[in-house]
Amino acid sequence: MDVSNRTVLVVGGTSGIGRELARRFAAAGSTVAVGGRNQEALAELAGEGFGTVGVDVTDRASVAAARDAVLDRYPELDTVITMSGVMSMEDLLDPAHFKVTETTIDTNLLGTIRVLDAFTPHLVRRGAGTFVTVTSGIAFLPFPPMPGYAASKSAVHAYSEALRAQLDGTGVGVVELVPPAVATAGQEKVNPHALPLDDFASEVMELLAQQPTPREILVEGVRMHRWAERDGTYDELVAQRSRALAMLPGRQG
């Protein structure tokens, strides 16, 4: 991928990894638009020179309106990054968890699909372009306090694989970004081993620029998660991560 000559939409790019990647693409020379719900953050990004659009990925009409606005301004759009996501802890012994599960699946999985569906016809008509879906190391090595998040990201991985196969021959590629814990949105408070955002973004941009672009963008810090089953470390690592169940409010004391 020539990261210096793209027209990129980052959906869910108002904070954290998405915002940093938007800035990295722009710094490399690409034209970048950012979509999200946080109007204050969108205004800040507009002040930095980004195109911005309000979008709620849980609302199909909102996604369609955002698509129309973006394509009207950027008819040459060739890269769509689906960053929107929520991450919450759930105690599966508490029936109240289901509302959190619904929100997580609706945002992380169905929200991703809504965005992909919205832009697939445009990219296919162009005959060239790239979707970048975003999963997580937790998709491959579950973190038991966040079962809905793990399930949603595992599903996005499977969906990305299927989408890539179905788009074969159209000129549209699918790249899956698999972050580890990154020091953003308070992750560093929960996980002292979270990768600094700057380091993560630098490694991601280097991997995206490889020829050919890898199907999965795996920074060094996530490979132990991605390949745990292959490496025979899966059971041990899940057991270690299960200790974090003590973090759940209902399990304390």
Report the side by side order of strands in the sheet with 31-36. Answer: 51-54, 31-36, 7-11, 79-82, 129-134, 172-177, 216-217
Residue tagged 């698999």 (tokens): 178
Considering the candidates 74, 149, 159, 234, report the single residue annotated as catalytic.
Answer: 149
Cα Rg of the chain, angstroms: 18
Listed in order, strand segments (DSSP E) in 92-245 are 129-134, 172-177, 182-183, 195-196, 216-217
DSSP tag of 176: E
159 catalytic residue (yes or no) = no
Which amino acid is located at 42 in the chain? L
CA atoms of 209 and 65, how far apart (whole Å):
31
Tokens of 155: 């599903």
d(CA 131, CA 174): 5
In the DSSP assignment, the letter for residue 106 is I
Question: E-strand spans in 87-185?
Answer: 129-134, 172-177, 182-183
Catalytic residues: 149
